[in-house]
A and B are shown apart, each in its own frame.
Chain A
Amino acid sequence: MESVAGLIRKLQLLLHRQRFNRELEEELAFHREQVEQELRDDGMTMEDAHSLASRRLGNDTRWKEEAHDVIGFTLESVARDVRYAFRQLRKNAGFATTVVVILALGIGAITAIFSAVNPILFKPLPYPQANRVVMIWERQRDGSRRFDCFGTFHGVQKRTRSFDALAAMKAWQPTLVGKTQPERFEGQRVTTDYFRALGVEPVLGRNFEAADDQHKGPNVVILSDGVWRRRFGSNPSIVGQQVTLDGDPFTVIGIMPAGFENVLAPAAELWAPLQYDPSLPPLSREWGHHLNIVGRLRPGVSRQQANSELDVILGILGQMYATGYNESGGVPAGMLVNSLQSDVTGDVRPALLTVLGAVGLVLLIACVNVTNLLVARGVQRSGEFAMRAALGASRKRLTRQLLTESLLLAIIAGALGMFVAELGVRALRALGAPGLPRMNAIAVDGAVFAFALAVTALVGVVVGLIPALQTNRGDLNLALHKCTRVGTSHQTMRRALVVAEVALALVLLVSAGLLLRSLQRLFAVDPGFDGSHLLTMQVQESGHYYDNDANRLQFFKNALEAVGAVPGVVAADFTSQLPLSGDYDVYGVQFEGDNSAEEGGNRYAVSPGYIETMRIPLRRGRLLNERDTTSAPTAVLISESFAKRKYGTQDPIGRRVRMGPDAGQPDKPWATIVGVVGDVKQQSLAVAVEDAFYVPTTQWPWADEVLSLVVRTRGDAAVLAPAVRNAIWSVDKDQPIVRVATMESLLTVSEAQRRFTLIVLEAFALVGLVLAATGIFGVLSGGVSERTREIGIRSALGASRRDILTMVLHQGMKLAAFGVVVGLVGAALASKTLVTLLYGVSRMDPVTYLGVIGLLLAVAAVACWLPASRAARVDPAITLRAE
């Protein structure tokens, strides 16, 4: 141990290093002169004295080095190591490049993926005390969650003591009609405390107050920073002025800060008060389940406490408002209080963890490969190291040297990896990872850099340590004699590497394979309709002209006629909700003669030809037609599985139901089931069949102002989009048309998350396979090459080529088989995390497992066979002499 004072003196010396050298030189020169003087005093000539003094004193440089060693730090010898390592790597540029590229790809990939995953999974949301922000859902009897209705929100808000702020919200797409084309905005209708629950405030103007969120209250709006800049040129005096949304004047009261990240509706740019009716009239939107509730817990109140309080409150509400709840699917079983973080990221968590795991595996495989390269080089250099050891280099010194070399490689690879990561993050953002929350927060940031650095250093140490141990354990004498009979420890190492490579590759490939098969199964699922040549778009009505139902129906009718006249259109129809588009619109259904609780089903208010245009099969009865008008008795179609569940083998045709607001209302007329149609996937191909019913738009109690148009086309559906749009605008040019997409692209997008995971996973699996294959090849063929001499002896002793091949293959395949066994255990464990991403495939799917095992064993066999056959072909005399 050095004293602190000593350390300070050392530092001073180091800082004034030139002076130290100068003074030392002068001191030594003085000494030399004095010795010469002494010798001359003894009677020597000047020359003799000079040469004798030189001989006696020896080499100046050595003295200086020794003096340096006294004052020097370990750091300096590290610098020497680094310089030496650089020289070594330059001498072996090919080896160094290979290692650096492999590691850089691994490190870059893991950094890019971690960058994407970090803000979603690990970073707190960008709100003060974000852990106190929760989402509140209604809980159904089967434990699943449901959107809240305003009745629940209103009742809870009046009674709860668990929250600092509580707010309900729904999506809102106001249209700003200007001089140019109508522009539709994403926005939210929210109750007073929405921003308070999140913990953010407008940067200009004011927040919502209780006076804003009154039934039939004032039209006020808060703008996002983006809209404010884009549409209003950052003009601060816009606050207090009016803008026109959906034909109504709205007063701008505030601007949100630029940094405000709205994780609940990332695209929302406008916010207006919800303004629902607190008197909660029955049969009103106040009982529709279409709201989300967000809350900020009071400090010290846990989610569990809040949840049990809400359950109690809901019990009271259920009794008070039995009618209100019953007409919209019944009183919920309870409430669910989720943390906002898990709510926002819950859906994508398994996918992201899978991708993170995959990239981790690739990095591991890369490490194993690099280790193998370093070991192989260690063997090549064993002579060099033995020489250095014989010359007096300590074991510690040599170990440090090797560690320095591999750390240096890892650092260079790390720097390059950061570059790869930046490219990767850009690619991920460009790929637009559908459904990935907090996309805009993804960037290579400080935390990620630290992570990459840690990974790099770890890789350096791990990869460096193994060959260092290997070299040191070797017997110097053996190595010095340049004997290539390789030590057993080295062979053990090789074996471990083969097993590791095979095992890691197996885990990676099985995971990718399972997902691939899931996706195959998924796309083979029948959505229930014919999605080819189908163009879809959402048509909205905006403006007060459409405040009355007759005008609404007339516009859609005219629009259909106009679209039908477009060349290339086979048929066109409207529906209130479009399958696989994200629409979700469920209403209660009361069956005549069934007094148990009413059922919920997807409601489709459609124009009469919809079922035919979609090519949904008719199972019984008849389809809707032009005679099912406003004045005719209401006709309804129900889905096949709905019919089977309610009526079993009985014929449902002619049975009667009350739907939506009419359900449970004895004074309302019954509607008659006129037909049964095939099941259609509404939410996702993977979700089980849901109950559904179809009613003519004209016979539903109100006319929807937003409908989706489906157009069956003769040729390519996408090509017709502009013509169809213009046809609608020829009826009324101020009506916004959005979400234009072919049904085929909707089908794809509905599975986008699985597809995204798959693409990324496949990419990594491919990289992993290539790395593992080259790695397995490298390890096995390296092992065989080292045994060239042995093979030579064997063939000299009479072993046939066949014998030798069999022996090498047998030994190599034994290792590969062991790797497969280890990998199977790993894959079985890894597939557990995959379960939520799988569809129609067991996580133990034998086809996938057998396929991957076969592939890896084939790679291993080729890797053994090629070098073995090469060795066996060579004349044993040459092999033996080569030593």
Chain B
Amino acid sequence: MAAKPDLMPGTLDLLILKTLTRSPMHGYGIALSIKRLSDEILTVEEGSLYPALQRLLLKGWVRAEWKLTETNRRARYYTLTAAGRKQLGIELSEYEQLITAIGRVLESA
């Protein structure tokens, strides 16, 4: 198996929040979505996904509710809250600043 690049610290929350902008999703769905959208480069470890979701829940950025899947299985769906949407904005702009800054350093070097 190819070595997978580590997620930059703090980016997992950002990815989860971004993923949830489209629709409410369960944990597995979030992991799958991130994997697919990143062309299988980013794999979210289950061991960090669920603690991260708990953290987001506690901060009030996502909301959780039990729903039935298309296959009629009970699953916990996470929905972005208004606070979460605001937080996503903040984290996105921080992320862009960071990337720009890193880009500048790399270009000049």
Contact = CB atoms under 8 A, between A and B. Distances in A.
B26 to A, nearest CB: 7
A58 B46 CA distance: 9
Given A31-B28, A63-B47, A66-B47, A26 B55 contact: no
Contact of B60 (A5, A24, A69): A5
A28 B73 contact: no
Interface string A1-32: 00101100110010000000001101110110
Query: Which of A6, A38, A62 gathers most chain B CB within 10 Å?
Result: A6
A534 B57 CA distance: 90
Contact of B46 (A9, A63, A69): A63
A30 B46 contact: no
Contacts of B27: 27, 30-31
A9 B26 contact: no
B58 A70 contact: yes
Contacts of B54: 67, 70-71
A837 B74 CA distance: 84
Contacts of A69: 51
B18 interface: no
A71 B51 CA distance: 9
Interface string B39-58: 00000001110110011011
Contacts of B46: 28, 31, 56-58, 63
Given A31-B46, A34-B28, A57-B46, A3 B75 contact: no
Nearest to B57: A9
Interface in A65-80: 66-67, 69-71
Nearest to A31: B28
A15 to B, nearest CB: 14
A33 to B, nearest CB: 8
A35 interface: yes
A31 B31 CA distance: 10
B50 A28 contact: yes
Contacts of B60: 3, 5-6, 9
Contacts of A38: 32
Contacts, number: 62
A63 B74 contact: no
Interface in A682-709: none
Most buried by A among B57, B58, B59: B58
B75 A30 contact: yes
B4 to A, nearest CB: 13
A10 B58 contact: yes
Nearest to A58: B47
Interface string B61-86: 00000100000011110000000000
A67 B58 contact: no
A66 B54 CA distance: 10
A35 B76 CA distance: 16
A70 B57 CA distance: 10
User: What is the size category of the interface that chain B forms with chain A?
Assistant: 20 to 34
B65 to A, nearest CB: 11
A30 B48 CA distance: 16
Nearest to A20: B54
Contacts of B75: 27, 30
A412 B84 CA distance: 48
Contact of A6 (B26, B31, B59, B76): B59
Given A6-B60, A24-B50, A31-B46, A70 B28 contact: no
A186 to B, nearest CB: 71
Contact of A30 (B26, B57, B58): B26
Contacts of B50: 24, 27-28, 63, 66-67
Nearest to A23: B76
A20 to B, nearest CB: 9
B87 to A, nearest CB: 12
Contacts of A26: 74, 76
A26 B67 CA distance: 13
A13 B31 CA distance: 24
Given A26-B74, A30-B75, A71 B58 contact: yes
B76 A27 contact: yes
A9 B27 CA distance: 20
Residue among B51, B60, B74 having the largest count of chain A Cβ atoms under 10 Å: B51
A49 to B, nearest CB: 15
Nearest to A66: B51
Contacts of A33: 73
Contact of A70 (B32, B55, B74, B76): B55
Interface string A495-507: 0000000000000
B74 A6 contact: no
A5 B31 CA distance: 28
Contacts of B48: 66
B47 A62 contact: yes
A9 B51 contact: no
A24 B49 CA distance: 12
A31 B47 CA distance: 12
A33 B72 CA distance: 13
B73 A30 contact: yes
A66 B45 CA distance: 13
Nearest to B83: A5
B47 A6 contact: no
Contacts of B58: 6, 9-10, 13, 70-71
A67 B56 CA distance: 12
Nearest to B64: A23
Contacts of B59: 3, 6
A23 B58 CA distance: 15
B31 to A, nearest CB: 8
Interface string B13-48: 000000000000011100110000000000000111
B47 A35 contact: no
Nearest to B54: A70
A27 B54 CA distance: 12
Contacts of A3: 59-60
B60 to A, nearest CB: 6
Contacts of A5: 60
Contacts of B74: 26, 30
A209 B3 CA distance: 103
Most B CB contacts (10 A, CB to CB) among A3, A34, A38, A63 go to A34
Contacts of B57: 9
Nearest to A34: B28
- Give the residue among A23, A33, A63 with the most B Cβ atoms within 10 A: A63
Nearest to B43: A56
Given A6-B59, A38-B32, A66-B48, 12 more contacts: A9-B57, A9-B58, A10-B58, A23-B76, A30-B74, A31-B46, A34-B28, A63-B50, A66-B50, A67-B50, A67-B54, A70-B54
Interface of A: 3, 5-6, 9-10, 13, 23-24, 26-28, 30-31, 33-35, 38, 56-58, 62-63, 66-67, 69-71
Which 4 pairs show the lowest CB-CB distances between chains A and B?
A: A34-B28, A70-B54, A66-B51, A31-B28
28 contacts: A3-B59, A6-B58, A6-B60, A9-B58, A9-B60, A10-B58, A13-B58, A23-B66, A23-B76, A27-B50, A27-B75, A28-B46, A28-B50, A30-B73, A31-B28, A31-B31, A33-B73, A34-B28, A34-B32, A38-B32, A62-B47, A63-B46, A63-B47, A63-B51, A66-B47, A66-B50, A66-B51, A70-B55
